[in-house]
Structure 1
Amino acid sequence: MDWNVSFSNSLSPLSIDQQVITINGMFPGPLLNATTNDVIHVNVFNFLDEPLLFTWNGIQQRLNSWQDGVSGTNCPIKPSTNWTYVFQIKDQIGSFSYFPSINFQKASSGYGPIRVNNRNVIAVPFLKPEAKFDLLIGDWYAGDYKYFRTLLGTEVSAYDVTPDAILMNGKGPYGHPMSTPYESFTVEKGKTYRFRISNVGNTLSFNFRIQNHTMLLVETEGSYTNQISLNSLDVHVGQSYSVLVTADQNDADFYMVASPKLLDTSIIGLGVLHYSNSTTPASGPDTFDLDFSVNQAKSIRWNLTAGAARPNPQGTFNVTNVTLSQTFILQSTRAEINGAPRLVVNNVSYYTSNTPLKLADHLTNGSGVYTLYQFPIQSVNSEAAYGISVVTGNHRGWVELVFKNDIDDMDSWNLDGFSFFVVGFGSGDWTPDSRNTYNVIDPIVRSTAQVYPGGWTAEYAFLDNPGMWNLRSQNLKNWYLGQELYIRVYDADPNPAKERPPPDNLLLCGIFYQSNAPAPAPGLLTGF
């Protein structure tokens, strides 16, 4: 498929003069609809006025971090040029999203939905719904993203700027005086529908509910869950869920509500669930309990008996008796470095190199670009400083990731290349004794997990996917200001079954850039 990525002033969701990033003239972008093991080709034509990359949030890129689309793995697509991503959606099902990964561009959209469907030979653990709806929800700033990113890098107060709206599929809230048409879905009484809900926003977690309706949770980011009925659902930045909703009310219109978590603000996302025979407009909305979030998170469990990408039950792959080979304790907080506001992990703020780490790894063993073993994975540096944060992940070893959030806001973390088992949440400091509280029986498996203010989240991941993989905050401000690192999972075996060679269309940049130089010959892998 071809994607023409450009700016539009005609699709501004708040009826103001504002540039929106569109794909083929669409905001949000087109649906990527695939089936397990499909190979995807996306030819991106960059008609913006600055470099561009797309990342495929939650898609694991098996053996192929060359296609991950982040600054540490790919040279950017320059303006007025194109580049083709080619990747396989290997051994996955579920609901995901894509978005621009550099230059703070996600704040101006460029995002869209990804569906990965089961192969026909594997049963879905619920009846086929009448229809499927993609519902992309996220906070939105009414202003130029380039101005805001400049302000964010120089003014400490810019970090606390509150978004102006919460959008649903790129549309402003119902009844908002500056909104374009609100989002609405038409349903028929007595029928059941699947909503794939993704938080594609920049900063805010939200609580989602549909007035007078219950939701049956069935899937999150590639895992079928134990099916639980919910009146409302917390969705944190970067997360995706599938819920089933039965239209079991009298013919009328009902609000779909997305309200921010842990933020005292009047902004709210508002759409409409419209019954096909309704003549009654929506009214409300109802209220919700702010304090239930952690308990809800702990109640979301893996469905151990359902198959997913493979016919084996999900519970075949469990963490009840794993042996950990590494533990990374990652503490996030805000700091100032040389007078500039930054986010730090263990007092290191990630510095983006002009040369992608993966490219340097392939051509020079990383020399001249980064050095392994300098990032503190279980301690905190005495002073905040910039660094190109790369750590070694033991190939085919189990790693324990402990995220500690010393910021006053909700955070969420994503690991490219893998799904992880979310084994624990807690408040205050994490200690080895905290492992006694872990759920290792049926923890949910996903690619993005929230970390509560003043709390910690623990995850297990099996590092069976060689490559250079991005570990980042999904909060766009945090990510832009340095809250990320890379895990280098290396396998010395040059067999392509272990890791894919670089693509034939590999881009060069940074210290390797030559205007007329051909790409290095694929197939030659180097490493430490």
Structure 2
Amino acid sequence: MRINGYYCSVFLFTFIAGSSAIEVYHEWHVSLDTKSSPLNVNQSVIAINEMFPGPLINVTTNDVVHVNVFNNLDEPLLFTWHGIQQRLNSWQDGVSGTNCPILPNHNWTYSFQTKDQIGTFFYYPSIRFQKAAGGFGPIRVNNRQVIAVPFDKPEAEFDLLIGDWSTEDYKISRLMLQNKDVDVESYAVPEFILTNGKGSYGNNLSKSFESFTVTQGKSYRFRITNVGNALSLNVRIQNHMMLLVETEGSYTNQIPLDSLDVHLGQSYSVIVTMNQTEADYYIVATPKLTTTNDSSNLVGIAVLHYSNSTIPVTGPLPTGPDPFDVQFSRNQAKSVRWNLTAGAARPNPQGSFNVSNVTLSQTFILLGSLQEIRGLPRFAVNNVSYYTVDTPLKLADYFVNGTGVYQLDAFPHDSVNANASYGISVVSGIHKGWTEFVLKNNMNVIDTWHLDGFGLFLVGFGDGDWTPASRDTYNIFDPVVRSTVQVYPGGWTAVYGFLDNPGMWNLRSQVLKQWYLGQELYIRVFDADPDPAKERPPPENILLCGMFDEAPAPAPAISPTSL
């Protein structure tokens, strides 16, 4: 809706019969916008309703969200809902393997439910390297009133979106990444750190800086998300401690922290009590594995402003841990444990769902690496670099059993030594089976992996090679559940996932250039038994493309396993 020359999100609430859930409607107009550029440079960003970052999606457990996206870009567009599990509904996932893109000058409405979820998440464009140009925004999923929150109600909540940023046009970046003469490892290195889409306080290239106004003696919830493309970040607030309470939909054991590592795609909630002298204080985000100083562009600086303060921020920036101290980061990650006694989306304590005695149905050992394929730099999983095809895998799976688009389970389940190649990687996930994913990293950057559709129990970290004996080091008593996990250089990370959500789900690196150049695969979760809950049928507004372009939707295929 356009009001006084500005596009506004439209919120219409419809109560669902027999439920406290509501239906929430948004209307988004997506465009390239120079006015929203965070810096005093000539750059266009992807804005939503002329906003960068985009509007907040603020809902409650089980609400149904409808987002009508009008694509005013000059190229196709998709949005993905990072961490929203899309129960029985991968049709709304918004990645290239599940959805046809929204073409320029067209619109399409996403509809999804925040089923049995609470927590802090975000959204962003998922194709054509567009995330490097913005288009991201926050998602909050609040507890139902009947479910207690395991901390006192804060005075207010703030979204704190931090992330690295480059001033190079995203179209140039994606073109250069396909150039055989470009050093992909060192290319597309970020130049700035943004806070809520704004530059740093005190930086003469910043159009503005972010400031949060608070009242002395009150406590506030900061929902922190790393929306960047390349760098893990450490966050701290001058003279204030942060009490960790939640990460990506899981309430954690509450631990006080003077700094917090937030890796790509990860979200946390912290409670900060305003117990200092009325003044202004620095909020700082600095990169891991990178050398910086206080005046570096790669230091993101916002301001915590006490409402009656007349004292501007002063003094040196608060210091953080050694950015090259991987052991510090790993130890902090290990200290993030599930709060077993708290409820979350349901009355059951989180500890009702434990992994202390599960039987594993399958194991995937996945190595992310940089390869050369046909003379071009590509990233791969187990030496297979994902090749995006015109027909979404989900369409092909539903209508023709994948025939002519992909071959199921041709992908190696272990990080074998083989020549690197392109592939359309789709593996079978056992429905309602416990799956172990061992994610390995032989690169010199911190990698992060995200799995759509599921929460992952983070059971272990380690250096060097993983072996079955490494399971003896796992934390299976109170591992936190999250959607995005980091893998440190030269190490491995192990997670358990309960594959109870039928659909076609994307597993990928959150390092943007690695994802763009092929470090991803899809997991097909299917069960022919008629008794378990089945995935919903395609939406009535389904888009067709690829082999189904301009053709009526065919009848769904009959799976050979169901005959």
TM-score range, shorter chain: over 0.9
- Do structure 1's residue 274 and structure 2's residue 305 form an aligned pair? yes
User: Match for residue 127 of structure 2?
Assistant: 102
Q: Which residue of 1 aligns with 2:357?
A: 321
Cα distance in 2 for residues equivalent to 1:360 and 1:163 = 37
Q: CA deviation at 1:370?
A: 0.3
Any residues of structure 2 matched to 1:81-480 within 5 Å, and which?
A: 81-154=106-179, 155-161=181-187, 162-265=189-292, 266=296, 267-283=298-314, 284-290=316-322, 291=325, 292-480=328-516
Instruction: Note the C-alpha offset of 1:461.
Output: 0.2
| TM-superposed deviation, 1:495 | 7.1
Which residues of structure 1 form unaligned runs of 5+? Answer: none
Inter-CA distance 525–2: structure 2 relative to 1 (3 Å threshold): farther
Which of 492, 504, 510 is 2:546 aligned to? 510
Pairwise CA distance, 1:518: 3.4
- Superposition map of 1:22-37 within 5 A: 22-37=47-62
Q: How many residues get paired?
A: 525
- Which digits, 9 at most, give the CA deviation of each residue in 1:258-293, with x for residues without a partner? 000011243110000011111111122021222210
Contact 2:161–2:226 (CA under 8 A) maintained in structure 1: yes
Does the aligned pair in 2 maintain the 1:327–1:400 contact within 8 Å?
yes
Paired letter, 1:159: E
SS of residue matched to 2:185 = helix
Alignment partners' CA distance in 2, 1:464 and 1:228: 31
Q: Is the 8 A contact 1:8 1:20 kept in 2?
A: yes
Query: Measured at CA, do residues 139 and 81 of structure 1 come closer, stay the same or move farther in structure 2, by a change above 3 Å?
Result: same
- Give the Cα–Cα distance (whole angstroms) in 2 for the partners of residues 432 and 276 of structure 1: 55
Which range moved further: 252-261 or 147-156? 147-156
Q: In terms of mean alpha carbon deviation, does 50-59 or 497-506 score higher?
A: 497-506
Which letter does structure 2 place at the counterpart of 1:308?
A: A
Counterpart residue identity of residue 53, structure 1: L
Given that residues 119 and 249 in structure 2 are in contact (C-alpha distance below 8 angstroms), is that contact kept between their aligned partners in structure 1? yes
Q: 1:507–1:519: 8 Å Cα contact kept in structure 2?
A: no
- Contact 2:400–2:557 (CA under 8 A) maintained in structure 1: no
1:68-127 per-residue CA deviation (whole Å, 9 max, x = no partner) reads 000000000000001110111100000000000000000000000000000000000000
Contact 1:36 1:119 in 2 (8 A): yes
Q: What is the CA–CA distance in structure 2 between the aligned matches of 1:40 and 1:289, rounded to whole Å?
A: 40
| Structure 1 residue 524: Cα displacement | 6.8
- Contact 1:219 1:243 (8 Å CA) reproduced: yes
- Assess if the C-alpha contact under 8 Å between 1:410 and 1:451 holds in 2: yes
Q: How many angstroms does 1:414 deviate by? A: 0.4
Alignment of 1:20-99 (within 5 A): 20-99=45-124
Instruction: Give the AA of the match of 2:521.
Output: L
Among 19, 27, 30, the alignment partner of 1:5 is 30
Q: Look up the SS of the partner of 1:146 in the other structure.
A: helix
Distance in 2 (CA, whole Å) between partners of 1:193 and 1:333 is: 41
Secondary structure of 2:351's aligned partner: helix
Do the aligned partners of 1:501 and 1:525 also contact (CA within 8 Å) in 2? no
Task: Give, in whole Å, the separation in 2 of the partners of 1:322 and 1:64.
Answer: 26
Q: Per-residue CA shift, 1:6-34, capped at 9, x if unaligned?
A: 11011111111111001111100000001
Query: What is the distance in 2 between the residues matched to 1:227 and 1:527?
Result: 50
1:216 Cα deviation from its structure 2 partner: 0.2
- Residues 18-52 of structure 1 show CA distances to partners (whole Å, capped at 9, x for unaligned) of 11001111100000001000011001000000000
Supply the RMSD in Å over aligned alpha carbons. Answer: 1.3
Q: Is the contact between residue 231 and residue 288 of structure 2 (CA under 8 Å) also seen in structure 1?
A: yes
Cα deviation digits, residues 171-194 of structure 1 (max 9, x gap)? 001111110110000011000000
Q: Which runs of 5+ in 2 are unaligned?
A: 1-25
Residues 494 and 525, structure 1, Cα contact 8 Å, conserved in 2:
no
Name which of structure 1's ranges 284-293 and 66-75 shifts more when overlaid on structure 2: 284-293
Structure 2 SS opposite 1:107 = helix
Q: Which moved more, 1:230-239 or 1:370-379?
A: 370-379
Q: CA deviation at 1:520?
A: 4.4
Q: CA deviation at 1:373?
A: 1.8
Contact 1:159–1:477, Cα closer than 8 Å, also in 2: no
Deviation at 1:494, TM superposition (A): 5.7
Q: Is the 8 A contact 1:412 1:451 kept in 2?
A: yes
Which letter maps to 2:202? G
CA separation of 1:300 and 1:159: change in aligned 2, threshold 3 A: same
How far the C-alpha of 1:381 sits from its partner, in A, is 4.6
Deviations 1:229-283 (A, max 9, x none): 0000000000000000001100111000000001124311000001111111112
Which stretch of the first structure deviates more once superposed, 114-123 or 373-382? 373-382
TM-score (norm: length of structure 1): 0.98
Aligned partner of residue 331 in structure 2, secondary structure: helix
Distance 1:254 1:527, change over 3 A: farther
* Amino acid in structure 1 at the alignment position of 2:439: F
Letter in 2 for 1:51: P
Between the aligned partners of 2:346 and 2:182, the Cα distance in structure 1 is 48
1:46/1:79 contact within 8 Å kept:
yes
Deviates more, 1:282-291 or 1:272-281: 282-291
Question: Letter of the aligned partner of 2:240 in structure 1?
Answer: H
Separation in 2 of the partners of 1:526 and 1:62?
21
Deviation string for 1:329-357 (max 9, x for gaps)? 00111111111111011100000011100
